[in-house]
Amino acid sequence: MEESNETYLSDWLADKITDEQLQQLVSADEFEAFQKIKSALIGFEITQPDLEQNFRAIKHKLADKKQAKPKIIPIWRYASIAASLLILFGVYHFFIAQNEITTGYGNAEMITLADHSKVSLNAKSTLSYSNIFKYKRTLQLKGEAFFEVEKGSPFTVETSLGRILVLGTKFNTIAFDDFFEVKCYEGKVQVTSKGQSTILTHGESVRYYKGTAENWADETSNKPTWISGESSFKKVPMRYVIEQFKNQYNVAVDYPKSIENIKFTGTFTHKEPTVALQTICLPLHLKFSQNSSGKIIISE
C-alpha cells in the first residue's frame, strides 16, 4: 500500500494525475499530507553540480596546503609559558592573597600571627591580613578584637573608621558602623580617625561616635572583660549594647528607636541571656519579653 501511495505522489507531483484523481486513490488524511509536501517543495530547485568548477577548487586548496609550512612551537617555549604562569601564581599567593578569619554568634577565637603577636577576636567579627604580614604588619578589622603585639616593625590595624599604629602593646578595638573605640592596656598606641590623631597610654581610651571624639582614663586590668565571658560598657549608646547582645546570643531584638542613643554603663554575661537582659534593662527601667518566634521585645 505504501509503494502505491509513493507512486501516486510522484505521479501527482509530476502532473501526470490531477487533484481529483488523487483524491479518489488515497484517503482524505493522505491527500492533506501530500498537499503539505507539495507546498514545501514549491520554489525548491535542485541544480546539477558544476563538477569542473568544484575540481578546480579542490586542486587549488591542495596546492596551498603543500606550500604552507607547519607551525612548530619549540618545547622550550611551552616550558617558558608554564614557568611564567607558576611565577605569577606564586606572586599572587604570596603577596596579594588575603587570609580572613570570621567568628560566629557567641564565639570568640584566638589567632597567633606570623610575628607571634596574638589577636583575640570577639563574636561576629572579621580579621584579614596578607601572606606577607610578617614583613608588613598591617591587618584589617571589622568588629571587636584584643591585640597583644610583639615588639618589632610598626604594627597597624585598619578599620573603616580609622587606624591604630603601635610598636609593642596591648589594646582593644571596636569598629562597628559609626562607632569606633580603642582602649590601651599596655604600652602606647596612636589612633587616627577622620584627620584627628590621639596617643593613648596604659588605661586611656578614645571613642569616635557621630563625628565627636571622647577621651577618658581609668584603672584597668590587663585584658578586656569580654575575653572572660562578660561584656563591659562605659557610657555606650544602647544600640551598640544591644548589638553586642545579639552577637553573643544570636537572637533578634526589637526595641523603640527612642532608646538607641541612651548611654549605658554596666556589664552583661555571655552565659545566660535572661540574666544578661536583666542587667541591661533594669538599670534603665526598661521591660523585656520574648514572643512565640523567639524575638526579644524591649519596651519602655
**Each residue's pLDDT tens digit, 141-184:** 999 999 999 998 899 999 999 999 997 799 999 998 889 999 99
pLDDT given at position 3: 47
Within the chain, which residues score under 70 in pLDDT? 1-14, 34, 36-97
pLDDT given at position 45: 47
CA distance 143 to 16: 92
pLDDT given at position 186: 92
pLDDT given at position 26: 73
What residues have CB less than 8 Å from 80, skipping those under 6 apart? none
What residues have CB less than 8 Å from 47, skipping those under 6 apart? none
